[in-house]
Amino acid sequence: MDQLVNYLYISAILFSLGLFGVITRRNGIAVLMGVELILNAANINFVAFSRFGGMNLSGHVFSLFVIVLAAAEAAVALAIIITIYNSMQTVNVDDASSMKQ
Amino acid sequence: MESNLLSLLVWMPVIGLLGIALVPRHRTKEIKWIAAIATGIQLVLAIVLWSKFDPSNAGLQFMERADWIPSFNISYILGVDGLSLPMVILTALLCFIGIFVSWKIDHAVKGYFALFLLLDTGIMGVFLSMDFFLFYIFWEVMLLPMYFLIGMWGGPQREYAAIKFFLYTLFGSVLMLIGILGLYFTCGQTFDIQVLIQNAPEMLSGVMWWGMSAIKVIWVLLFIGFAIKVPVFPFHTWLPLAHVEAPTAISVLLAGVLLKLGVYGILRLNYGLMPDGVWWFAGALAFLGLINVVWGGLCALAQTDLKKLVAYSSINHMGYTLIGMAAVIAAGSANGANTTAAQAGLAGAVFQMFNHGTISAMLFILVGVIYDRAHHREINGFGGIASQMPIYTGVTALAFFAGLGLPGFSGFISEAMCFIGAFPVFKGIVIASTVGILLNAAYFLWAFQRIFFGKLNEKYTELPEINARELFTVIPLAIITVFLGVYPAPFLNLVKSTLNLIIEMVASGSPIAGM
Amino acid sequence: MDNIYINSSIVILFLPLLAFIIQIFIGKRLPRQGDWVSISAILITLFLAAYMFISMLSQYDPNFKHESSFMWMDLGDFKIQLGFLVDNITIIMLLVVALISSCTHIFSLKYLEGDIRYSRYYAYLGLFTFSMNGIVLANNLVSMYIFWELVGVSSYLLIGHWFEKDSAANAAKKAFLTNRVGDIGFFIGIMTIFTAVGSFAFTDIFEGVAIGSIEGATLTFAGICLFAGAMGKSSQFPLHIWLPDAMEGPTPVSALMHAATMVAAGVYLSVRIFPLMTPDALLFVAYIGGFTALFAAAIALTQNDIKKVLAYSTVSQLGYMILAVGTGVYTAAFFHLLTHAMFKANLFFGSGSVIHSMHHALHKKHDHKTDPQDMRNMGGFKEKMPITFWSMTISTLAIAGVPFFSGFLSKDAILGGTLSFAQQHPQHFLLPMFGFGAAAMTAFYMFRMIFMTFYGKPQMPELYKDIHESPREMTGPLVLLGSLSIFIFYTLPYFNPFSTHGWFTDLVVAKDSFVPGNISAHEIAEHAHHAHMPALVLSLSVAGLGILVAGLMYLKKSLSADAWANNSGPLYKLSLNKFYFDENYDRFLYQPLMKLADKVAYFDWELYDKYFINGFGRITSWLSDISGKFDFDGIDQGLVDGVGRSAKQVGHSLRNIQTGRIQNYILYVLAGAILMIIIQAV
Amino acid sequence: MSELAFWSVAFVTVASAGMVVFSGQLIYSAIALLFTLLGVAGLYIFLWADFMAGVQVMVYIGGILVLIIFGIMLTHKIVSVKISQSNVQRKLGAVVVGIFLIFLTSSIGDAPWFQMVTTEPSETVRTVGRLLMTKYLLPFEVASILLLGSLIGAAMLSRKEE
Amino acid sequence: MNNLQSLSLYLPELILTVTVLSAIVFDLFLPKEKSPKVGWLVFGGLILSGMAIWVQKSPTTTLFMDAIVLDPFAQFFKLLIILATLFVIIASQVNSELDGYSQGEYYSLLGILVFGLFLMVSSVDLISVYLSLEVVSIMSFILSGYLKNDKRSNESALKYVIYGAFSSGVMLYGMSLIYGIAGSTNFFEIQNQLVGGGGEYHLIFVIAVVMILVGFGYKISMVPFHFWTPDVYEGAPTTITAFLSVAPKAGGLALFIRFFHQVMGDGVALEGNGFLTTTELPWPQMVAVLAVATMTLGNLVALQQKSIKRMLAYSSIAHAGYMLMALPVLSADGIQSIMIYLVMYLFMNLGAFFVVLYVKNKTGNETFEDYSGLGWKMPILGIVMTVFMVSLTGLPPTAGFIGKFYIFASVIKGGSQFYWLAFFGAFNSVISLYYYFRVVKVMYLEGAKSDIIESPNQPILGLLLATSVPSLFLGIYWQPVIKWVENSFHFFTQIL
């Protein structure tokens, strides 16, 4: 609990799980959840480093911005997923592969 | 006028091009005449230049200099010396003739002549620019018109031939660009060829790149760029294709002038900047020359397409030039300071360049003449043409004999000089390449026999004789060939002081120590 | 240049050229197709040559010599001066050329009458005369080489005069190419000498040889190389193959070039370069010449084509001359050149006359199948064509080496020289044997020819009545040259028919070789003098033998030629088929060369260009293999066209990574990142 | 005690994150994400970041998660809670991600982190607020512009074009 | 500088912000069919902003308490971005793909995107970096999906958003690690910390840098982070594709240059002198390899394309590779050559896309077949496209050659250990010839020749001239560009 590395391990696991989600989930919204995991992992890092780096709060501010931007990004991503759903009746990202090579 | 003579020479075709741009595309007659006038004026300018040229001066004359991009030391420098003057005259002449050879072009006339003139400017610029950057620009400017001229007005495989030519040449020129930049940064950050000639031998010596002498690296980079144009043996396969597919006038320019650019570049830049490199490379040069001679000769012997035969004969002929160029090292003290041989070889090489220009131009024009009539070039598809077209036969015989190096034609003198010059240093190679003399005769005579001798082919009893326009394009070249074959001194006097300067520089060099 | 000899030579040289130029450009439009232009030009040269000859005789100076040069090119150190050399040899040669050429011009008036390229023909004759005179007048190797090749070209053009016939076109090409083989040697020799001496002029070269600038093996090499040129032009073994084929040309041309002058150029060259030949080189020359003499004579024994007999005879006689040069008696060689020019030209004109008449007779019968040159179709022409018969007989006597005729004198000198050489060097006993053997055969085949043509029963009686003596334009030269085969013209001011001593021997005196250590001219003459008597006796007897056998076989028919032919078995066949030289050259040189050319061209175009330049084939499949195994098709398809294609191939496999599935991309990104981390970490 | 609390929070965070990724039901994933986010907020508290924990709960759970659930519902005809969800390239993904995890975990332990010992501040809101108004004023304003843009964009995309 | 003082130096951005806000408001009052007018408002705003940049006395300072910097280098990129945007706005006015959509948002979002790019080129703080990247990314997502009724546009937006979110997430994680090592988000402080001991070689540092590269590389389409590029470029509206291929790439490169020279190096190169990396990480070699991979892959795959638009997408990847080539040399010349290249690239690449746009307007397609005989049908278009292709290949006398020339020059000046880079660049130019000239070939050597000549309409003609004339002219006389770049070569930097 007072060890930096504990937090870092947790964040590393979260990050890896997030990556895995992004890579493997077919549903666009699930992919988005994976992205949220990645962002949370980074946030844990920021806050943890801030705590063990002399409590300079730029880490906190950074993660604050990340949360805000995550919200914006999620909104836009969902809007895009919804347009895809409207036009293709699916939210599976691997169905959207008409453009390739 | 005196001071801007060279600029005028270079830009005259562009002025013509602008003129053509203003003419509506269906007024083909006017377009052709504008092109003819522009190249005609260029020819006159070239002759004026010749008359004012001082042959006893080995250095550059009629220099023009203007700042261009001062921050990179790029300038607009033009100059002419004994090495470039004959090429300038040849270019002007062949471009002028080329317009008339192209008189029958019937589609996209405007584009054709515009590109033709652009090509003309490119070639002229390469010969006259004395700034390496400018040189490179002109060098590349030639590519695009050539691509279109082959690709749009060429034979059945034209697209392939055009892109192949383009890729090949670009490959060489990008290497050259790297070499140029290498020189720029190692030799005092300048593109001025005169300054580089002063600086390079000293500043390059001892510089090592990846354990190799910088001279060798730059030499090879530049050489490959030029060798592709010559073309030297392993880089030659674009040539038969491009020559065969190109329209006649373009083949004439390709063989007549473009191939010379390579040799000119090697002499001006490789030799001028890296005299030590000459020592290192001369043996290889002579050997490549031998391969060119024999390989080109054998390939020509096997051809059944007349134009391809002539194309391979170019490879064969350029081999003599390489051998002659290699002779320069005879002048070094290690080879007994035999300046006699060096002079013979180098002058022979330059003379051979010029002669191949006139002779191969003649050959291509003549191939074009028969192609226009019979619509094929299959050597075995003719027979007995001699009795149907006696004048054409006579002219062709003259061109063929000139091509096979018969005394009395200029080609003989230059070939002989190349051999004589190289003999003291490269005995074995020279003796081996004299086989080329035989192959030369064999393929030309055999082709001549198959086309002109024997019973007249039934199909060709109606073949019209060569007409006045076509004769007009050939006769000047024939006269030059014969005149210089009988009395080469006017040409040699023009070039000798410059060439002797090159020999002096090379003679003062020494083989590169170490790798 | 106010020297009368030089000035005359200039006129002699360029007048025929002028005629050539006029003829080639406007000849057809002139009256009589301009033959008078050529004839007047050649007659003027004849006149000038005669004038020079007479003034030479009047000076009677063996050291008579005029030389003049001008700078042809000057590059500083590399200079070439061209120039004229007029000495006794030159003047004699000029006269020979002018005389035979004039005869040819006149003879051709009728022989070529009505030919479609009549003016062309005269033009080429002019070109030839010009080039031949150029060789004769050259004082340096460069101009000699230049004219040497020009002679080759005029020969090419004249042999190919009737180019509609494939055989003529082939023969022309063959002549030129075979000559070029020799010329390459000539050229290498020139280069070798120039490299050592730094000059092309004979005088400078001899000086260089004398002071040792070039010596030993190099000099031998140079000498043999120069001689290779002579071998080509003089049709020496193994480059003899072109001369018999060259008979495809009009017969007057054969007389002029392929009997009297052009082929003699090789001998002339050998004579000129004799002073720089080392003993080794000379030995080579001697063997080539001797062998050729015998070998060609052996072929001539069995030929049935009248011109072929003469052609091989020419080869054989040239071999004689070369043999003489090789054994050191080069003045004898030149002497034989002179006499041979007269009688051999005459023989050709004679044969021309016969052929002309046969041709006309056949033409009347509309017979285009029978060969007008085949001696088996002739016989008994003696009565019909007396002038031809007599002039040819005189020449035959001369060539056979019968006393009172010119050939006897020159042949005797050669055989004497050869014999003396063998006496000095017994290990070279073969050389005189070549000589005498050839002499015997010469006598035989020449008389065989005379007997078959002019004696006996007509073989084609239906033709016989149409055989006529030729017109005056043709008989004139016959009479003239026939008379010049009589010894008196060569021994003046003396009258001994058994001694060569005369104006010629007085004026053309052998000079010492410049090669240090070579035997002196005086010694050679001394030895030859001693060998004179035995040689004379021997040569007379072998000539007599030859004539006798010929007479028995073809005149009396007491010896059956067929039986002998059968008895000699393969030898006869070999001789008849010219020792299969053409066939073997074709099989072992020409065909392999063409195959090689085809192979090279195939390689260049189909393999090198397609697969290496275009393909970078293996590299391609290798690259696509590496580039991620994404595309196995690329490897299967294997070699494709183009750096372009091969790049495309790689591109194709790379392209397949672009699946369009976003999650694949992300996976790749991560994999790439891992790769980068690993690379950085290692 | 707090040690136990820490580890249980950590466990909940990681386990629910696993469920987010592995669950076959989309709704379950969303609910698991709720626990993950809560867990992270808990970790923030252990890290003396009370303000951040609050923001996490409010924005993430109150905003983003709701947004996601809305998204799920808008893109699926909801007849039951079972919205099946399948995965692709699991094996390859596991390998790649596993390597990444190994890299991270093997290097985290001995990395030269910037560390400094301090005492726990009573609260962070004030400091963060001051930072936002001074040092990070520009990012703050930029974020507002970004939000504005996203708003317009998202609205534009979702709007039915008539 | 404190926040209030900074405002006066922040005028260009303020103008931009006001423009965007008024554009949003203006759009509310416009009927849909008049909505393109918003474009002209943004156009005007951009010009004003550009003028504001132009007249700014270029002080070299930080603004807003070290959040960003203001230096001529940033101004150069801002002007470049404005120029590209102006072109794109005009092109968008005639882009028939946008017909039927309300276009107010299109221009407003474009304005915000430009604002984000402004921030990107002047960021010296990880927070600003992240924010600016996100602004640019999110706006790009929306814009590439702007054609809601076009499946390909939808798809490209989806791919873009997932890819972008993922990339920025990974980058963010990398930034968090850097923050952990350095204890700060400010470039200069990170640099100090790295020199002070944090820069010694450690795996975590490698991982952090690679993760950050994922984000940066995604922005400039560097291999292996380029995968989104072709798909998004193909699906997005052509004008947006043109914009994406130039402006964000320029911004990304500026960021790249600043980050690597200021954070990973001693910053001396930014003063125009020699250079050292401050870490033991051999990142220059890494970037060199990636540059080669980028141009090679871009070129090789471009060879295969059937769609010209997609071919241009790959070609833009290749061009990123050329530019990256000059980065590892670590010299002022290297940076300057990238700047020069960007100027040249802007004209030729935008021009090529405008031709694609015009042909698509005419024929509705963008494959090679659609271009056959084009040179005869529309001579002006043919000639102009040829100029662009020649320029993109890098042949004299065109701007593209000059760009390449300076890149090669800086590489070669860097010393013989970089020659291999130059060789790769050179060979790649040769390969690129093949596909660029396929366009030329198709236009001139194939297809039926037509006697009917079409001339493009005025705005397109103007655009084509405005891009093709510089593409040609700058190949002949480019001294002004050099001067501009040299004058712009001042950084706010701290040298160790």
What secondary structure, in 3-state letters, does D59-115 show? Answer: HHHHHHHHHHHHHHHHHCCCCCCCCECCECCHHHHHHHHHHHHHHHHHHHCCCCCCC
Predicted local confidence at residue B16, as pLDDT = 92
CA distance D126 to E14: 28
Q: Which residues of chain B are under the pLDDT cut of 50?
A: 1
C114: left (phi over 0), alpha (psi -120 to 50) or beta: left
Query: Is A87 in Cβ contact with E149 (below 8 Å)?
Result: yes
- Count of alpha carbons within 13 angstroms of residue B79, beta-carbon side: 22
SS3 C83: strand
Predicted local confidence at residue C628, as pLDDT = 29
Q: Which residues of chain C are under the pLDDT cut of 70?
A: 1-2, 607-659, 682
**Core vs surface per residue B413-423: b (16+ CB within 10 A) or e:** bbbbbbbbbbb
Q: Is D1 on the interface with A (CB under 8 A)?
A: no
For D140, nearest residue in chain A (alpha carbons): A65
SS3 C85: strand
For B160, nearest residue in chain C (alpha carbons): C642
Structure confidence by residue, pLDDT tens digits, C49-73: 999 888 888 888 888 888 888 888 8
The most distant pair of C-alpha atoms in chain E lies apart, rounded to whole Å, by 73
Judge whether E417 lies within some domain. yes
Give me the residue from E163, E210, E214 closest to C665, CB to CB: E163
Partners of residue A25 on adjacent β-strands: D87
Judge whether E2 lies within some domain. no
DSSP B38-56: HHHHHHHHHHHHHHH--TT
Which residues in chain D touch residue A50, judged by CB atoms under 8 angstroms apart?
47, 49
Structure confidence by residue, pLDDT tens digits, A90-100: 777 777 666 66
Query: Is A59 in Cβ contact with E179 (below 8 Å)?
Result: yes
Sign of CA dihedral A11, A14, A16, A22: negative
Query: Is A55 in Cβ contact with D121 (below 8 Å)?
Result: yes
For chain D, list residues whose CB is within 8 angstroms of any CB belonging to chain C. 88-89, 92-93, 96-97, 99-100, 103
Predicted local confidence at residue C614, as pLDDT = 59
Q: What is the pLDDT along chain E (496 residues), one digit of tens a residue?
A: 677 888 888 899 999 999 999 999 998 888 888 888 999 999 999 999 999 998 887 678 888 888 888 989 999 999 999 999 999 999 999 888 888 888 888 999 999 999 999 999 999 999 999 999 999 999 999 999 999 888 888 888 998 999 999 999 999 999 999 998 888 888 888 888 877 765 567 888 888 889 999 999 999 999 888 888 988 998 899 999 999 999 999 999 999 988 888 887 776 666 655 556 666 677 888 889 999 999 888 888 887 788 889 889 989 999 999 999 988 887 888 899 999 999 999 999 999 999 999 888 888 888 888 888 888 888 888 889 999 999 999 988 899 999 999 999 999 888 878 888 888 898 888 888 888 988 888 888 877 666 677 777 778 889 999 999 999 999 989 999 999 999 888 888 776 5
Predicted local confidence at residue E167, as pLDDT = 93
- The pTM for the full model equals 0.90
Number of domains in chain E: 1
Which residues in chain A touch residue E230, judged by CB atoms under 8 angstroms apart?
99
Judge whether E84 lies within some domain. no
Mean pLDDT over residues A31-46, rounded? Answer: 93
Chains B and A touch (3+ CB pairs under 8 A): no
The CATH number of A4-91, from 3.60.10.10, 3.40.47.10, 1.25.40.10, 1.10.287.3510, is 1.10.287.3510
CA distance E289 to E308: 28
User: CA–CA distance from C203 to each of C183, C208, C274, E492 (Å)?
Assistant: 22, 9, 13, 85
Nearest to D33 by CA among D43, D52, D19: D19
Predicted local confidence at residue E115, as pLDDT = 94
For B235, nearest residue in chain C (alpha carbons): C613
Judge whether E274 lies within some domain. no
User: CA–CA distance from C318 to each of A29, C266, C323, C581 (Å)?
Assistant: 105, 9, 8, 19
Residues comprising chain B, all counted = 515
Q: Is E330 on the interface with A (CB under 8 A)?
A: no
Question: In chain E, positions 29-88, which contact chain D (CB-CB < 8 Å)?
Answer: 63-68
CA distance C367 to C345: 29
DSSP C548-569: HHHIIIIIS--S-HHHHHHHHT
- Residue E474 lies in domain: 285-489
Structure confidence by residue, pLDDT tens digits, C313-343: 889 889 988 988 888 888 888 888 888 888 8
Q: Percent of chain A scored above 70 by pLDDT?
A: 93
Tell the residue number behind the tokens 């930072």, with chain if given: D131
Predicted local confidence at residue C646, as pLDDT = 59
E393, E426 in Cβ contact below 8 A?
A: no
Judge whether E323 lies within some domain. yes
Which residues in chain C touch residue D99, judged by CB atoms under 8 angstroms apart?
674
Residue C126 token pair = 């002019």
E409, B181 in Cβ contact below 8 A?
A: yes
Predicted local confidence at residue C669, as pLDDT = 86
Question: In chain B, positions 300-319, which contact chain C (CB-CB < 8 Å)?
Answer: 301-303, 312
Residue-range domain boundaries for chain C: 140-576, 584-681
Predicted local confidence at residue C35, as pLDDT = 83
Structure confidence by residue, pLDDT tens digits, B52-89: 999 888 888 889 999 888 888 899 999 999 899 999 99
Residue-range domain boundaries for chain B: 274-509
Helices (H), B382-456: 385-388, 390-403, 410-422, 427-433, 435-452
Sign of CA dihedral B418, C272, C101, C337: negative
Residue-range domain boundaries for chain A: 4-91
Residue E412 token pair = 């070669």
Give how far the C-alpha of residue E463 lies from the chain's centroid of Cα atoms, to the nearest Å.
Answer: 19
Q: Is E302 on the interface with A (CB under 8 A)?
A: no
Partner chains of D (3+ C-beta pairs under 8 Å): A, C, E
Q: What is the pLDDT along chain D (162 residues), one digit of tens a residue?
A: 688 999 999 999 999 999 998 888 888 889 999 999 999 999 999 888 889 999 999 888 888 888 888 888 887 765 555 566 666 778 888 888 999 899 888 888 888 888 888 888 878 888 888 888 888 889 999 999 999 999 999 988 888 765
Confirm whether the ipTM is greater than 0.90.
no
Predicted local confidence at residue C610, as pLDDT = 65
Which residues in chain E touch residue D148, judged by CB atoms under 8 angstroms apart?
24, 112
Interface probe, candidates C616, C649, C669, chain E, greatest E C-beta count within 10 A: C669
